[in-house]
Amino acid sequence: MFKTARFEDRGFKPLAIAVIAVSDTRVLETDTGGALLKSLLEADGHVCAERVLVRDDIQLIRQEAVQGFVANPEVDAILTTGGIRFSGSDVTPKAVEPLFDKHMEGFSVLFHQ
């Protein structure tokens, strides 16, 4: 019989996480969503690699924010907030979905709960 490694046995490894807030109405100083994500990830022991705010524009979100962080070897993960309501100007899902290699159906349900 072999011993499997348990999550607890691996030790904690902090991640360098980039936070992207998408908004046409906020600036970095008034961005409560991005500020909350940053404080929560840091409270859990992770590092905020960078926090940016971009306008609700597909090209800005995709090219200037997401792809820039993907290409940065010092960023382990990217969190986005904003730009996801049902109005025509909110385009975050349209901007990032084509960049996915894999879709994890059902994973979003956990976030909604």
* Per-domain boundaries in the chain: 13-98
Tell whether the model's pLDDT for residue 90 goes beyond 60: yes
> Cα Rg for the chain, rounded, in angstroms?
16
| Strand order from edge to edge, sheet including 16-22 | 47-54, 16-22, 77-81
Average pLDDT, the chain: 85
Mean pLDDT of 26-34: 93
13-98 to CATH, choices 3.40.980.10, 2.40.50.140, 3.30.200.20, 3.20.20.70: 3.40.980.10
In the chain, the N- to C-terminal Cα span, in Å, equals 38
Owner of token pair 């730009």: 83
Q: Using 50, 70 and 90 to split pLDDT, how confident is the model at 2?
A: very low
Entry pTM:
0.80
Using alpha carbons, list the distances in angstroms from residue 95 to 43, 48, 71, 74, 91. 29, 22, 17, 23, 6
